[in-house]
Amino acid sequence: MAEPSPAVRVSTLELFFDLVFVFTITQLAETLAEDLTLRTFGDVLLILFVVWWMYSGYAWLTNAVAPSSTTRRTLLLTGMAGFLVMALAIPEAFGEYGWLFGVSYLVVNVVHGLLFRTAGPAARQAQRLLGPLNIASALLVLAGGLVPEPWRHLLWVAAPLLQVATGYIHNIEMHTISAGHFAERHGLVVIIAIGESIIAIGAGFHGLHLGSGEILVAVLGLWVAYYLWWFYFAGDDARAEHVLARTDNPRRRARLALNAWGYAHYVILLGIIVAAVGIKKTVGHAFEALHWDAALVLSGGLALYLVGHAAFLALLRLRGVLHRLAAAAVILATIPLGHMLAIAQLVAIALIMTAAAIIEDIPEVRRSGSTAIGDFGRSAGQPD
């Protein structure tokens, strides 16, 4: 669909909404850090998917329905309350508070449907099938919170399967997508999630003596977070926005938005969660050997982030895919280092990410330099 309004940007209320949503990311990281097992990791995968699906739903919503009236702002506040309660219930989403998570998730879905009713005719038409399908997935999550195992997990698995099918069943091309707003909204979530991960890591230092090991881990954690920012925001975010803006076919545009900013970003956020857990596991143990599971999540989280961003770039047919995949593979190779010495793995990861970013950036610097020389030559009346 043609760009409806290039000047539309993310409002401060939407940013406020994103801050509440990212609390769910923090809670998932805390939950995994406290019980680093395959079962908990599977639960994190399920919770993140259903929560991210509805966050994406709100991003698509405010892309078409600006929170510009009292009614819309009040409904959006209600949705924020639902996300907050969901986040509080996450540690026991498969236990005591499964029903609370389910009820708040249903509220989020109902509010989403009500807000879409205030949109234009095309958005309301898309919502006629999307709304009931979203409510059905929310009811599966709620039912999962009320029944015992194995039905609980079976219903939870059914919910994301229905959500994936929803992307193909309803008329996705009926959604209006403002590329600038859409890309900015998702970019803000990524940078907030990276920031929240630093806060979560910092909280792990509470009560510890700040020796050389602790300070080194803190600095390296910031170093790694900086390169997470670099890989996403050092130009690729703007290039991605331009690709979406230039995609004129409505169905292709909507499908690209769903796949690149929906599914690929799910992997990116999962990587941030897992990486934060891995770095937290090194706090207080910098000069000790990590258990294999801690070393695995430290490298695995960063590799997931890079693979997710590689998928994002591949979907948009942008450069940098091979750089990220190669960096992810080399980072995974550092796992044995962590099993010998935690700080050795963290230093190696930081150096690998730095080298990968610089190597990728060299051709861009050369092109910029050549352009600058050519411009100087033309301004001086010289041939290029």
Indicate the helix (H) or strand (E) that contains 252.
Answer: helix 250-258
Question: Would the CA dihedral through 161, 237, 326, 342 be positive or negative?
Answer: negative
Number of neighbours of residue 34 by Cβ within 10 angstroms: 10
Q: What is the pLDDT of residues 328-353, one digit of tens each?
A: 999 999 999 999 999 999 999 999 99
Which domain range does residue 19 map to?
A: 12-176
Same domain? For 154 and 276 the reply is: no
What are the tokens at 274? 């897992």
Same domain? For 269 and 340 the reply is: yes
Indicate the helix (H) or strand (E) that contains 194.
Answer: helix 179-203
- What letters, b where the CB count within 10 A reaches 16 and e where it falls short, cover 143-157? bbbeeeeeebbebbb
Q: What is the pLDDT of residues 316-331, one digit of tens each?
A: 999 999 999 999 999 9
Same domain? For 18 and 103 the reply is: yes
**Largest interatomic CA distance in the chain:** 79
Q: What is the pLDDT of residues 30-79, one digit of tens each?
A: 999 999 999 999 999 999 999 999 999 999 888 877 887 888 899 999 99
Same domain? For 169 and 297 the reply is: no
Residue 119: pLDDT over 60: yes
Same domain? For 190 and 319 the reply is: yes
Does 267 reside within a domain? yes
What are the tokens at 30? 């805390």
Same domain? For 250 and 301 the reply is: yes
Last residue of a domain, one of 141, 176, 211: 176
pLDDT on residue 3: 41
State how many domains the chain has: 2
For residues 179 and 181, give the distance between their C-alpha atoms in angstroms, rounded to a whole number.
Answer: 6
Same domain? For 148 and 244 the reply is: no
Residue 382: pLDDT over 70: no
For residues 129 and 123, give the distance between their C-alpha atoms in angstroms, rounded to a whole number.
Answer: 11
Q: Per-residue pLDDT averaged across 176-200, rounded?
A: 89
pLDDT range class, residue 367, cuts 50, 70, 90? low
For residues 35 and 368, give the distance between their C-alpha atoms in angstroms, rounded to a whole number.
Answer: 48
- What letters, b where the CB count within 10 A reaches 16 and e where it falls short, cover 58-94? bbbbbbbbbbeeeebeebbbebbebbebbbbbbbebb
pLDDT range class, residue 365, cuts 50, 70, 90? low
pLDDT on residue 68: 79
Last residue of a domain, one of 118, 150, 176: 176
Same domain? For 195 and 85 the reply is: no
Same domain? For 250 and 313 the reply is: yes
Question: Would the CA dihedral through 371, 373, 376, 381 be positive or negative?
Answer: negative
Same domain? For 110 and 190 the reply is: no
Residue 376: pLDDT over 70: no
Residue 371: pLDDT over 90: no
Same domain? For 137 and 221 the reply is: no
For residues 324 and 231, give the distance between their C-alpha atoms in angstroms, rounded to a whole number.
Answer: 8
Q: Per-residue pLDDT averaged across 242-267, rounded?
A: 93
Instruction: Collect all residues with Cβ–Cβ distance below 8 Å to 79 and sequence separation of at least 6.
Output: 17, 58, 107, 108, 111, 112, 115
**CATH classification of the domain holding 330:** 1.20.1410
